[in-house]
Amino acid sequence: MMSANRLHMASKEEIENYDLLEDERHELFFDLRALWATVYRNRLVMGLILGGCIALGILSILVMPRVYEARSSVQIDQQVAKVLGTEDDQTVIGGADADRFLQTQVDIIKSRSTAKKVSDSLGLAANDRFLEQMGVGPVLGDKRGRREETVLNTLQDNLDVDLKRNSRVVGILFKSRDPALADRVANSYAQNVIEGNIQRKFSTSTYSRNFLEKQLGLAKQRLEASERALISYARSARLIDASSGAKQDWQASGPRSLVTANLVQLNENYAAAAAARSQAMERWEQARGASLMTLPEVLGNDGMQRLLQRRAELMADFTQLRQRLTPEHPTVTQVGAQVSELDRQIRNFAESIRNSIRNQYLTADRQYKALEAQVAALKGATLAEQDRSVQYNILQREVDTNRQLYESLLQRFKEVSAESGVATNNISIVDHAETPRKPTSPRPLLNLALATICGLGLALLYAIARERLDDAIRDPGDVETKLHLPLLGVVPEVEGGAPLAELEDTKAEITEAYNSVRTAVELSSNQGLFHSILVSSSSKGEGKSTTSFALARGFALVGRKVLLVDADLRRPSLHRFLNMRQPDKGLSSVLARTCSISDAVLPMGVPNAAFLPSGPLPPDPANLFAGDAVEQLLATLADDYDLVILDGPPVLALADATELTAAAEATIFVCAAGSAHFGQTRNAVSRLNRAHGRLIGAVVTKYNSRKSGYGPSADYYRYNYEEDPA
C-alpha cells in the first residue's frame, strides 16, 4: 500500500513538471503557432484572395499603357564663372541657404512659365497631337484657350525633377507614351531652363546699363558746372593752383597756390635746417666738454688711427731699448724724441677735428636763422591768401566729389556694358535625354510584388477577422488557458465516424487516448478513485457519450467493477452504442421507484461492466433529479460497484446537468475541438462551478491536428508493432 502511494505521488509530481514544461513551451511558441494555425485553417479562402490579387496584378500589367521616361540633367552652380574678371563677386552660401537656392531653381523648372516656353518652342498647343500622344484626348469647345491650358497642365503633371542630396546635378524627367516625345520634351526643358536663366541675367544687365547711363549723364553735367564755377572764382580771387607742379613724393596732394607752394617748400628746408642745427649743436657741446682723445670723431678718423698705431710701435721699441740700454744712450734718446713728436702731432690733429665740429655747428646755425626769417615773411602772405581760399576749397571739394562719382559710374558702365555681351551662365547641360528603349510603367515585377503583398495582407486580414469572430476551441492548450481546467486528455478524430469499432482495436489511437484519460482520472485524486463520475459537455454532439462508454470499458478492463448510467433523460444514446432497443426500465424507472435497480441493470458485454439505461423518457426530467434522489442512488450503487459513470445531458439550457454534478463526486467536461465555442463552454463551466460540482478536468475530443493547423507536433504516438520473423 505504501509503494502504491509513493508511485501515485511520483506520478503526480512528474505530471506537474511536465505540465510546467508544456506551459513554458506553449508561452514561447503560442503566437507563432496560433498564427500558423489560423493561416492553415483558412488556407483555401486565403489562397483564393491571394490568387485574385495576383490575377489583378497580371491584368494591370496587360491593361496598363506603356509609359516611357526620358531624363536630361543640368548642373546648377551658385557662382558664375568669371570671363572678364570684372564681374561682381558672389558670396558662397552653404547649409540651409544652399538648399533653398537649389530648391528655388527646382521650382523654376516646375513653374508654369517654363512649361509655357517648352510648349511654344515645340509647338505643342498648335494641335491635338501632343494630347493624343499623352493619352489625354482631343479638346472640345474653345480649342485654342482650353488646349493651351490642357497642354500646360499635362506638361506639369508628367514632369518630375530629381534633386539628389549633396549634389548640384538636377535631373529633368518627363513621362510619355511616346518615347520620342519624352526625349524631345526632356531636352526642351533643359534647353529652355538654360535660355531662361540667361535671359533673366541679360534683362537684369540691360536694366543696370540703362540706369547707369542715365546717372552718368547727370553726373557729367554736375561735374562740368562745378569746374566752371571753380575756375571763375580762382580768376576773380587771383588764386593759382600749383598742386600738380609742386606735388611731392610723400604728399597725398600738392599745395593749392604758389604762395602756399613756396611756404611748403621753404618750411621743409627750414625743418631740415633746424634738425641739422640741433644735431650739430649736440655734437659741438659733446666735443667741447670732453677730452680730445675720447671723442668718437677723433678715434674714428683714419689718420688718427695710423698715428696711434705708429706711436704704439715706437713705444714698444722704446721699452725694449730701455731694458737693454741706459737712458743716456743715444739710441734711447733718439727714439724718445720720436715718441714726443708723435704725441705733439696727435694732439694737434685731434684739436683740428674738434675745431671742424665747431665750424659745422656755426654754419648750421646761420642757415637756420636765414630760413627762419624767410618762413616768417611767407606766413603773413599765406594767412592773407587763406581768407580768399575758403570759398575756393568749397568749390574744389565739390569738383572732386563730382569727378569721383562720374569716374566710378563711368567705370561701372564700362564693366556692365562688357559683361552684357558675355553669355556666362550658372546652369549647364550635363546629359542630353536619349530616346528610352524600355517603358518605366508598368513594371511587371513591381506590380506582381505589390499585388502579392496586397493579397497577403488582405488574406491575413480575412483570416484574423474570421478568427476573431469564430471563438471555437481548436488547440487543447485553450482548455487550460481559457477555461482554467486541467487537460485530462486529447482524443483524436476517427476517420469514418465509428469510434466504437476503433475502441476494440488495442493499437488504435483513440484507444490509447482514452487509456491516457483513464490514467489521468485515476491520478487526479490522492484519495483513490472516485465512486461516481459525471461526464457532460456544453452542447450535444461533442462526444460525451463516447467518452463515458470508453471510460467505463477502460476501467472494467483493468479490473474495476463499473456501472455505466445513461443519465440523459431527454436524448439518450448509450443503448445504441450497445446495439439495444430503448429498454422499458431504466434510470427514470428507478428514480420514479417503479422498479428496483437490479431489474433495470443490464449486462454491458464487457467483463466487470454493467449498464443502466435511461428508461422511459419522463415528461419533466428535472423533477426526477431534484432533491437527494440521485445522491441516494449513487450511495446505494457504491456498495455494489467500484465506479459509477454517469453520461449526463448537455449543460446549457438544461437544469439536469447541474443537479447531477452536485450529486456526483467528480465531473469530467468534454469539448469537441473545432465545434465547442469558448463563450458557451465558459458559461457551461461556470454553471457547473456554481452548482458546487467538482470539475477534475476536461477532455478534448475529435481533435485533428492537421485540420486545426497546429501541425504534426500535436499528433499522437503511433505504435509500430512488428512480428518476430522467427
Whether the pLDDT of residue 706 is over 80: the answer is no
Is the predicted pLDDT of residue 290 greater than 80, yes or no? no
Amino acid in position 342: L
Give the torsion through C-alpha atoms of 337, 339, 341, 346, to 10 deg: -170
Q: Distance between CA 27 and CA 669 in Å, rounded?
A: 24
Please give the average per-residue pLDDT across 33-42, as a whole number: 71
Mean pLDDT across the stretch 251-269?
65
Cell, residue 37: 494555425
10-14, 525-529, 666-670: lowest mean pLDDT where? 10-14
User: Taking the alpha carbons of 456, 459, 465, 470 in that order, is the dihedral positive or negative?
Assistant: negative
Closest C-alpha among 491, 494, 470 to residue 674: 470
Whether residue 442 is preceded by a cis peptide bond, meaning omega within 30 degrees of 0, is yes
- Give the residue among 559, 418, 477, 436 at the shortest CA–CA distance from 21: 477
β-strands 169-176, 68-76: how paired? antiparallel
**Cβ atoms of residues 168 and 77 within 8 Å:** yes
Q: State the pLDDT at residue 535.
A: 92
> What's the pLDDT score for residue 563?
92
Angle at alpha carbon of residue 373, lines to 367 and 375, rounded to 5°: 100
* DSSP strand pairing (609-612 vs 562-566): parallel
Q: Can you tell me the distance from the alpha carbon of 267 to that of 372, in angstroms, rounded to the nearest whole number?
A: 9
Are 587 and 570 in contact by the 8 Å Cβ rule? The answer is: no
d(CA 374, CA 268): 12
What does the pLDDT look like over 82-138, one tens digit per residue?
544 555 555 555 557 788 888 888 899 999 999 999 989 988 888 888 888 888 877
- Residue 460: its pLDDT value, please? 86
Cα distance between residue 229 and residue 227, in whole Å: 5
User: Which of 109-118, 294-303, 407-416 is the least confident region?
Assistant: 294-303
Non-local (6+) Cβ contacts of 83 within 8 A are 422, 424
pTM over cut 0.85: no
3-state secondary structure 131-162: HHHCCCCCCCCCHHHHHHHHHHHHHHHCEEEE
At 643 the pLDDT is: 92
How much is the pLDDT for 561?
Answer: 92
**Which pLDDT does position 352 carry in this prediction?**
78
> How far is it, in rounded angstroms, from Cα 330 to Cα 380?
77
pLDDT tens for each residue of 126-185: 888 888 888 887 776 556 678 888 888 999 999 999 888 888 899 999 998 888 888 999
386 or 158: which leads in pLDDT: 158
Question: Which set of grid coordinates corresponds to residue 191?
Answer: 534647353
What are phi and psi for residue 138, nearest 5 degrees?
-70, 160
Helix intervals (H) in 581-677: 587-591, 597-600, 621-625, 629-637, 656-663
Pairing relationship of beta strands 532-537 and 643-647 according to DSSP bridges? parallel
pLDDT at 399: 85
**Quick one: pLDDT at residue 255?**
47
DSSP type of residue 164:
-
Determine the pLDDT at residue 533: 92
d(CA 345, CA 351): 10
pLDDT at residue 724 in the model: 44
> To which H or E segment does residue 172 belong?
strand 169-176
Residue whose entry in the numeric block shows the C-alpha cell 489562397? 47
Strand ranges (DSSP E) for 22-122? Answer: 68-76
Q: Provide the grid cell at 447.
A: 506590380
Using 50, 70 and 90 to split pLDDT, how confident is the model at 252? Answer: very low
Cβ distance 639 to 557 under 8 Å?
no
The pLDDT of 188-201, averaged and rounded, is: 84
Mean pLDDT, the chain, whole residue set: 77
For residue 562, pLDDT over 90 is answered with yes
Q: What's the grid cell of residue 470?
A: 469564430
What pLDDT is attached to residue 323? 75
Residue range 626-641, pLDDT digits in tens: 778 888 888 888 888 9
Residue 349 has pLDDT above 60, yes or no: yes
Mean pLDDT of 228-242: 75
What pLDDT is attached to residue 649? 87
Compute the distance between CA of residue 456 and CA of residue 450 in angstroms, rounded to an integer.
Answer: 10
How much is the average pLDDT of 273-285? 77
How confident is the model over 504-530, as a mean pLDDT?
84
Confidence of residue 385 (pLDDT cuts 50, 70, 90): low
Identify the residue with better confidence: 496 or 304: 304
- The stretch 640-668 carries a mean pLDDT of 86
pLDDT at 653: 60
- % pLDDT > 70, the chain: 79
pLDDT of residue 324 exceeding 50, the answer is yes
